Amino acid sequence: MSENILELKEITKRFAGVEVLHAVSFTLRPGEVHALLGENGAGKSTLIKVVTGVYQADGGEIFLNGGQVHFADPSESRQAGIAAIYQELSLFPDLDVAENIYVGRQPTSAGNRIDWRKLYSSAGELLKSLGVQLDLKAKARSLSIAQKQMVEIARALSIDARILIMDEPTSSLTLNEVADLFRLVRKLRDDGTAIVFISHRLEELFEIADRVTVLRDGNYIATRQVAEVNREDLIRLMVGRTISSLYPKTEVPAGKVLLKVDKLTQVGVYENISFELRAGEILGMAGLVGAGRTEVARAIFGVEPPTSGTIAIDGREVRIHSSQQAIELGLAYIPEDRQLHGLIPPMNIVANISLPMIGSYARRGWLSDKAERTAAFNSARQMEVRANNIWQKARELSGGNQQKIVLAKWLSTKPRILIMDEPTRGIDVGTKAAVHALMSKLAGEGLAILMISSELPEVIGMSDRILVMHEGHMTGHFTRLEATQELIMSAATQAVKAGSPQ
Amino acid sequence: MSTQNLPALPARRTNVLWSIARYREAGIGLIILILVVLVTLRSPEFLTIDNFRDILLNISILVIVALAQAMVIITHGIDLSVSSMIGLVAMMVAFVVKQYPGMPMVSAILLGLALGAVLGMINGLIITYGKVPPIIATLGTLSIYRGLVFFYSGGTWINSFELPKSFKMLSKGTPLGLPNMVIYAIIVAVIVYYFLSYTRTGRSIYAVGGNPDAAAVAGIRSQRILFLVYLLAGVACGLAAVLWASRFESAQTNTALGFELQTVAAAVVGGVSISGGVGTVPGVLLGALLLGIIQNALTLVRISPFWQLAAQGLLILIAVVADNLIARRIQRSKSS
């Protein structure tokens, strides 16, 4: 057994006082592909960013080739031979392929003059040695994601990286591109590069990884030889926790069908999605990030119309072309990224809440201040928003209170169908409970709720029924009583060969 | 997998015209050509060597400052204070030259460069160290530097008779058949071209503007790069200031007032992207040339001076929009 090239000892990391990594340890040997596995939010990306110097650990030690190191920023870890390829790719869109590989380290000749000829010839050789065909003069902007990845890998190799970290490299690739990537990864491994491979797709781990380390809720769980484990073992390691009593969903007799979705399809994104949603019901949509759930929600809300399939509201088939129309039909959609889609951060609470209904506070084109203020105040109080006053700017509020504002905003449109995308991501436990209690109450009042969540305990605790999606397909449908974390995770990670019928 | 049928691909064109059209500068070159033809039809004296020498002479200072402005814009910044830097340095250098008429004129240029460097460094420090957005920082120094012109001069001008002949000759004369001024501009253009194309620092300017996060990961010290481009803008303004005072044989409180907009226009018309990461020296040269031609042509075809500014603005907008349309069409045919 060879020496460890990288060793992490009991790494701890806190954000704003909240510990997100609890004494996590990890070892990496030259010439191995070591997979890092865990649910969304398990701490994989944070751990990686500690290794690459994007974050600094609050506790623990990092050893590189046996010597302790401390990286203050990413350029230091790069110099030490650690290269990372992040999900958000870091190329320069307006520079060409060759220059992207060597940016900041362009070969120079006498007088520090950049030797362009040498730059292009070495870039060409490098790509050739990788077996990759790319136009060296193509701007990075014009490349596909797979091609961009190849450029990033080439860049990593050009600095003689001994350690290559790949954060979900396959998440946006086609099957063929994945095969190409894996061929390259194996080649690098055989040349002695140590590779950390993060992926949600279990089947890929069995194909490419030698060892696997599982994280859960920021804890180190286990490290195994991939050859010695099976899917079920890994799933158990990933989810093995008990559901707390945080989830107060009360049983409500389900009413009539408010929303019926039939064979909804957006080619290449999601296919044949069918379900019903009744008044008083919470339907959970589980799956991994990128499974196509958000896209389905956006289709129902008229943001990105599907290519085929039908949507019926109250039994009447509708074609929803705009969010305005969706609102009129009684739909409300609370997107995942509150900062991006749900709130206007520099505006105050009143303005944010009244935004979708702004027309109803106006008479002859003039806003009635008082009506707007009163309505906003009432809904803010109903939501128990904690703020100094209703004129406070949305961006000054905590994540939880922001989420309440978004809720207040959409509930002011009096919806009958509420779509919530990751309703409690990034908010503290207390507010989370409040949001859950509110959801339960709303369902009790006859609202139909479609909840997208990647947090299994939340899905199981809050939902009456649970749909599971995997890579654009529905791969599971459970009632609350049937559902277990193992069942859902199994459906959410199962391999569905592209193009095969359900 | 595509979700809709794209129109059939045109046969891949490989002729000379096509390979020229791949460059963004081609669009602006084309517009200049059209303009030249149109104006010549209207007033034939436009297409004469003398007139073009005039145009080049008139855009020399613009070229020097627009190239520096372009570097700033490539980093996704802007320097609005260039006009005031020119005004202030021109006034200070003129005062010194007036005091010491016997000094060698090389030292007048060096003084201008040094003073410009100081003003540029102040901008750079405010932006990198003070973390003030460039547009705000340089809007502030635009007023401050202009205010200092009044403070320094006490509101008086320095007139032609107060300046020594050697100073006034800095910008006159035609060695090599080209006006002095044009040669200065060419030297600056060559230096900037070399810097942007053949040095790591120059390439880093593009990297910082194109993707700041990636630049940090690639080990580029963005703050240093930013500081440098504002410093260089100051240096360019220092040179421009000396030439300005020499050419117009005076230093006034309103020297170069409003000039910052011309430098931005020349850069942007020349294909420098306001969102950073894109821009070339030939592009900026063509941009400045187009501006110069427009100004010259408006006079030649006797458009009332009252309308000239508006007509100039309109032509700039037309040029940029046309260039965008051309670029988009090229993009589309390339990507399909």
What tens digit of pLDDT does each residue of A283-308 get? 999 987 778 888 999 899 988 888 89
C-alpha–C-alpha distance, residues A455 and A75, integer Å: 34
According to the model, what pLDDT value does residue B182 have?
A: 94
CA distance B151 to chain A (A): 39
Closest partner residue to A90 (CB to CB) among B204, B217, B273 is: B217
What is residue B300's three-state secondary structure? helix
Sign of CA dihedral A422, A428, A434, A440: positive
Q: Is the ipTM of this complex over 0.90?
A: no
Tokens of B40: 């010549």
Lowest mean pLDDT among A306-315, A484-493, B273-282: A484-493
């069918």: which residue's tokens?
A: A274
**B280 interaction partners in chain A (CB closer than 8 Å):** none
Interface size between A and B, measured as CB pairs under 8 A? 76
- State pTM to two decimals: 0.72
SS3 breakdown of chain B: % helix, strand, coil, rounded to 5? 75, 0, 25
Nearest CA in chain B to A102: B218
Residues A172 and A261 both lie in one domain: no
Both A482 and A364 in a single domain?
A: no
Same structural domain, A235 and A248: no
Q: For helices A231-239 and A485-493, what crossing angle results, to 10°? A: 120
Q: Hey, of A77, A94, A307, which one would you mutate to test binding to chain B, going by the most B CBs within 10 A of its CB? A: A94
Kindly state whether residue A23 falls inside one of the protein's structural domains. Answer: yes
Q: Which residues of B lie inside 8 Å of A (Cβ-Cβ)? A: 1, 3, 197-200, 203-204, 206-207, 210-211, 213-220, 273, 277-278, 334-335
H runs (alpha helix) in B199-280: 200-210, 212-217, 222-248, 259-269
Instruction: Calculate how close chain A gets to B332, using CA atoms only, in Å.
Output: 11
Dist CA A180 CA A169 (whole Å): 12
CA distance, residue A256 to nearest chain B CA (Å): 36
Predicted confidence at residue A87, as pLDDT, reads 66
What is the nearest CA distance from B199 to chain A, expressed in angstroms?
5
A501 & A446 share domain: yes
Amino acid identity of residue B334, one-letter, is K
pLDDT for A28 equals 94
CA distances from B91 to A494, B143, B155, B240 (A): 75, 16, 11, 12
Residues in chain A within 8 Å Cβ distance of B220? 103-104
Distance between B139 CA and the closest CA of chain A, angstroms: 23
Residue of chain B minimizing CA distance to A75:
B219
Domain CATH number, residue A200: 3.40.50.300
Return the DSSP state at A19: E
Q: Which long-range contacts (CB under 8 A, 24 or more apart) does A211-214 make?
A: A211/A32, A211/A33, A211/A34, A211/A35, A212/A34, A212/A35, A212/A36, A212/A37, A213/A26, A213/A34, A213/A35, A213/A36, A213/A37, A214/A37, A214/A38, A214/A238
Same domain, A377 and A253: no
For chain B, the structural domain boundaries read 61-292
* B102: pLDDT strictly greater than 70: yes
Strand runs labelled E in A128-269: 163-167, 194-198, 211-216, 219-225, 257-266
Compute how many other C-beta atoms are within 10 angstroms of the C-beta atom of residue A164. Answer: 24
**Residue A421 and residue A397 in one domain:** no
Which of A73, A95, A167 to probe the B interface (max B CBs under 10 A)? Answer: A95
- What CA–CA distance (Å, rounded) separates A412 from A375? 8
pLDDT at A454: 81
A258 lies in the same domain as A151: no
Same domain, yes or no: A185 and A79: yes
| Inter-chain residue contact A142 with B277, CB threshold 8 Å | no
Could you read off the pLDDT of A443-466 as tens digits, one per residue? 888 899 999 988 887 888 889 999
Query: Is the separation of the CB atoms in A257 and A277 below 8 Å?
Result: yes
Boundary of a domain, candidates A413, A432, A452? A413
Domain count, chain A: 3
Q: Which of A183, A206, A239 is the last residue of a domain?
A: A239
- Domain boundary at A413, A446, A461, which? A413
Contact indicator for B242, B90 with CB cutoff of 8 Å: yes
Question: What are the DSSP calls for B166-186, one per residue?
Answer: HHHHTT---GGGS-HHHHHHH
Q: Which domain holds residue A51?
A: 6-91+143-239
Residue B141 confidence (pLDDT) above 50: yes
User: Do B200 and A108 count as a contact with CB atoms less than 8 A apart?
Assistant: yes
The whole-angstrom distance between B259's CA and the closest CA on chain A is: 29
Same domain assignment for residues A451 and A407: no
What mean pLDDT is predicted for residues A229-235? 83
CB contact (8 A) between residue B203 and residue A92 = no
Q: Name the phi and psi angles at A196, rounded to 5.
A: -100, 125
Cβ within 8 Å, pair A104-B204: yes
Q: H or E element: which one contains B142?
A: helix B134-153
A317 and A371 in one domain? no
Which pLDDT score, from 0 to 100, does residue A173 have?
A: 73
Burial B184-208 (b: 16+ CB within 10 A, else e): bbeebbeebbebbebbbebbbbbbb
Q: Are residues A49 and A174 in the same domain?
A: yes
Q: Give domain status of residue A127, yes or no.
A: no
Per DSSP, what are the bridge partners of residue B336? none
- Of residues B255 and A346, more confidently modeled: B255
Cross-chain CB nearest to A91 (options B204, B211, B220): B211
% of chain B exceeding 70 in pLDDT: 89
Task: Tell whether A161 and A215 lie within a shared domain.
Answer: yes
- Which chain A residues are Cβ-neighbours of B332 within 8 angstroms? none
HEC profile for A98-144?
HHHHHCCCCCEEHHHEECHHHHHHHHHHHHHHCCCCCCCCCEHHHCC
User: What pLDDT, on a 0 to 100 scale, did the predictor assign at position B16?
Assistant: 55
**CA-to-CA distance for B284 and B267, rounded, in angstroms?**
5
